[in-house]
């Protein structure tokens, strides 16, 4: 991760195909295309990759979450349970629909704690959204059981987890809807792009229409299409889809490299008694895009982070004071800093975040170090990196 590290002839060929035929829009202009439909071709490839009946490409992972929720009827005043550790896009996508993000604690999987989820359910809860952060998963069986018990939508934000699986099923394909990002720093990239996946035909058709101004995509005359309901513009372009089409065919290559580099680093750190690793539920296989490990406490993890910087060990983070990924520094969210008026339900929910106790999440995030796994490293570089990491950790204990 990320796929841009290994751009090559495959990506150039697919992009040149689009430029040669001159149609950059994914819909219409049938006569000009000469049979080139990159978005449709990528959707077909992703159906196979995700073992899912339906895939709808959109303009970003953020759009994927909004479109997925909207396709299942989530909207104004509905509560969506989500984790304290994610990317800001997760709550942005919920707020855009007028829905209310309800943040709950994570556990040692670094994803939703099922007990915290159950405790947060109210009469207004419509969906539970797990975020498969850093390439791994939570207790999907327990979370799905909770959703079934309370008749809730179960959504997987698997934007950082393409290539991971649970009990033989690709991450993203287990819930009612799955969401993926193909932005510039994901394992496979379109530059910008995302996807909604589902086995529910109604959700798929809703996503297909909603992401393109409500167009029904019936027939071959775009001007004659009807609009069954309101929609917006979350289309991906043919240029972006072309890059993704080449990249998705290379996914097994990328995952194999990630696993190789991840394993070298993990094996090296395993000799340190004070280092433990995130819990991966039984039957789960990570995407190996990140190596996540715990240290004894926040002070140690802070010292290790500083030591990593001093030793030139890049792309490793302690997220405790991170502006993008953890609730502690989401001041713009807690203070409802919106350009447009927010509903009273949203304002009340966001204001409550100022005083809500997330000490359980602090316990895990404060002790965690998350290290990106690069595809472009040589094996020698990975071994050198492992040696430096071990040295830096030992000197910081």
The domains of the chain are located at 3-250, 252-396
Q: What length is written for the chain? A: 397
Q: How far apart are CA 174 and CA 198, in angstroms?
A: 9
Q: How far apart are CA 69 and CA 154, in angstroms?
A: 10
The set of catalytic residues is 186
Q: How far apart are CA 371 and CA 135, in angstroms?
A: 11
Q: Domain spanning 3-250 has what CATH number?
A: 3.40.640.10
pLDDT of residue 119: 98
Q: How far apart are CA 310 and CA 302, in angstroms?
A: 13
pLDDT of residue 273: 98
Candidates 3.90.79.10, 3.90.1150.10, 3.90.1200.10, 3.40.50.720; CATH matching 252-396 = 3.90.1150.10
pLDDT of residue 336: 97
The structure tokens listed for 243 are: 């890059």
Residues of the chain with pLDDT under 70: none
Instruction: Tell me the whole-structure pTM to 2 decimals.
Output: 0.97
């Amino acid at each position: 991760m990320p796929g841009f590290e290994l751009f090559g002839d495959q990506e150039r060929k697919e992009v040149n195909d689009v430029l040669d035929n001159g149609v950059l829009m994914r819909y219409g202009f049938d006569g000009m295309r000469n049979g080139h439909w990159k978005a449709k071709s990528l959707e077909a490839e992703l159906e196979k990759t995700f073992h899912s009946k339906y895939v709808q490409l959109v303009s970003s992972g953020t759009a994927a979450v909004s479109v997925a929720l909207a396709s299942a009827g989530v909207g104004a005043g509905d509560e969506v349970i989500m984790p304290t550790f994610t990317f800001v896009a997760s709550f942005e996508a919920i707020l855009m629909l007028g829905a209310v993000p309800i943040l709950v604690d994570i556990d040692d999987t670094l994803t939703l704690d099922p007990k915290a989820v159950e405790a947060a359910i109210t009469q207004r809860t419509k969906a539970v959204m797990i975020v498969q952060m850093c390439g791994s998963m939570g207790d999907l069986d327990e979370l799905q059981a909770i959703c079934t018990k309370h008749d809730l939508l179960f959504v997987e934000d698997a934007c950082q987890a393409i290539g991971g699986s649970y009990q033989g099923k690709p991450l993203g394909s287990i819930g009612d809807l799955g969401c993926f990002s193909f932005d510039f720093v994901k394992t496979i990239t379109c530059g910008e792009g995302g996807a909604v996946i589902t086995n529910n035909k109604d959700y798929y058709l809703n996503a297909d229409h909603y992401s393109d101004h409500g167009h029904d995509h019936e027939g071959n005359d775009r001007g004659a299409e009807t609009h069954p309901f309101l929609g917006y513009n979350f289309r991906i372009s043919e240029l972006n889809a072309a890059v993704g089409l080449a990249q998705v065919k290379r996914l097994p290559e990328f995952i194999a490299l990630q696993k190789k580099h991840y394993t070298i680093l993990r094996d090296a750190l395993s000799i340190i008694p004070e280092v433990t690793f995130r819990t991966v539920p039984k039957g789960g296989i990570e995407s190996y895009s990140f190596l996540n490990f715990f240290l004894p406490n926040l002070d140690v993890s802070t010292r290790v982070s500083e030591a990593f910087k001093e030793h030139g060990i890049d792309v490793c983070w302690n997220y405790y004071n991170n502006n993008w990924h953890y609730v502690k520094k989401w001041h713009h969210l807690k203070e409802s800093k919106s350009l447009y008026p927010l509903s009273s339900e949203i304002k009340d929910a966001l204001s409550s975040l100022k005083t809500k106790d997330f000490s359980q999440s602090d316990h895990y995030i404060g002790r965690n170090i998350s290290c990106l796994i690069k595809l472009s490293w040589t094996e020698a570089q990975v071994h050198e990196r492992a040696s430096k990491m071990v040295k830096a950790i030992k000197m910081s204990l």
